[in-house]
Amino acid sequence: MSAACGASVAALVQADNTSHVEGMPEAAAAEAGFNSTACNVFLCKGLQFADNTAQVQNFTAGQVVNMRASIPILHEGPMNVSVVNTKTNTAIGGPLISFVSYADESLAALPANNTNFNVTIPTTLGSTCTVAGTCVLQWFWFGTAADQTYESCVDMVVAA
C-alpha cells in the first residue's frame, strides 16, 4: 500500500481484507501526519490506485461481468454494486445490482446470488471511465444490525 495511507491502514487491510470500513479511521489516527485527502479510507478502504496499476480491468459498455463475494460472517442489510468516480467518491448513475436484504443471517442458507452474480457495465458512461484511476466497480454492503460497512473495489477502464 502506498505511503499515502500509512502502515497502520495497510496493516489492517492486509490482516483481514474482509474487515469493515469503520475500523479504518482508527487505524489512520495512529499515523503521525495522516493525510485524509490523500487517503480516503471511505473509498475502497483506503486502497490506492497507485498500488494496483497492474490489475486494472478493461471492460466495454454493455459487457456482462461476473462477480463473486466472500461473506465469512453474515450481517443482513442492503448491498449494491456501482461504478464510482474515485475523485468524488460518488456513484455514476444508479446501482448495477442492489439488494434491500443481503447476507441475512436468519436464513438457513444464503441465496446463491448473494455470492455469485452478474452486473452489466453501463452504456451511458461515455468517456467518463476511459482513464485508469478515475473509476472503480465497487461492491458496497452495510450490515444494519452490526452497523458495519464492507466494500471492495475493482480498478477499471471502459472503452468509449
* Tens-place pLDDT, residues 37-93: 777 888 888 788 887 889 999 999 999 999 999 998 999 999 999 999 999 999 999
Mean pLDDT of 115-130: 97
Q: Which CATH architecture has domain 52-159?
A: Distorted Sandwich (2.70)
Is 138:151 a contact under the CB 8 Å cutoff? yes
Q: Are strands 148-159 and 57-60 parallel, antiparallel or unpaired?
A: parallel
- Prediction pTM value: 0.88
- Domain(s) labelled CATH 2.70.50.50 in the chain stretch across 52-159
> pLDDT exceeding 70 applies to what percent of the chain?
94
DSSP symbol at 41: T
